[in-house]
Chains A and B, each alone.
Chain A
Amino acid sequence: RKEVEQDPGPFNVPEGATVAFNCTYSNSASQSFFWYRQDCRKEPKLLMSVYSSGNEDGRFTAQLNRASQYISLLIRDSKLSDSATYLCVVNTPLGNQFYFGTGTSLTVIP
């Protein structure tokens, strides 16, 4: 079983739409959770960390559900510039390892 699994998409949504991505993780001892964004032919960059209480940054909201072992990312009022691949990342307490999902592709259409 993979450490982190996420729906690869692609998600094609119109501008202004709300879109949600989910990601599940297998290690219940995981402690840190992140969403990264990767543009085509670029390196991944941190979008936001995910906290137990949930957190919001402008149009982006991240949630963590430890009981069900999943994290989610909600994007409201999608912009063309949101088109990218979104990577779910989980850090385990053992050995400083980060596990990446395969990414979910989002295209926002005019």
Chain B
Amino acid sequence: DVKVTQSSRYLVKRTGEKVFLECVQDMDHENMFWYRQDPGLGLRLIYFSYDVKMKEKGDIPEGYSVSREKKERFSLILESASTNQTSMYLCASSSGGSGGNEQFFGPGTRLTVL
């Protein structure tokens, strides 16, 4: 079974803090994704990566950065957390160069920024 794990289920941070969200997958998938999910807006893509050290902006990259130093690990960084970044963050991975394969999601990190 594919397993995608995220470093925290719940996180509370203060405005201005630097926040790291870690994601690890164990199936040697090429593609990894970070989304945020908000009521009424669905899942929105922040960044994705199709290879080590590669990254592509999604639809809402502002205020975020990512790092993929190893194939199995994809980190999301909030350089200076703001209250409008309070959300559920979901990491996903998929195999294949075309990206048209099933995505497997981690359990999510519910981040609250005070």
Asked whether, in the complex, the Cβ of A96 is within 8 Å of the Cβ of B99, the reply is yes
Residues of chain B from 28 to 55 with CB closer than 8 A to chain A in the complex: 31, 33, 35, 40-45, 48, 50
CB distance from A50 to the nearest CB of B (A): 12
Inter-chain contact B45/A42, CB cutoff 8 Å: no
A-B interface contact total, Cβ < 8 Å: 53
Q: Which of B41, B44, B102, B105 contacts A43 (CB 8 A)?
A: B105
The bracket for how many chain A residues form the interface is 20 to 34
Which residue on B lies nearest to A43, using beta carbons? B105
Determine if A110 is an interface residue (Cβ-Cβ < 8 Å). no
Look across to chain A and name the residue whose beta carbon is closest to the beta carbon of B50. Answer: A96
Assess whether B42 is in contact with A100, with CB atoms less than 8 Å apart: yes
Complex interface: stretch among A52-60, A67-75, A87-95: A87-95
CB of A103 within 8 A of CB of B108, answer no
- Residue A61 is within 8 A (CB to CB) of chain B in the complex: no
Most buried by A among B42, B48, B56: B42
**Measuring CB to CB, which residues of chain B are less than 8 angstroms from any residue of chain A?**
31, 33, 35, 40-45, 48, 50, 56, 58, 90, 98-103, 105-108
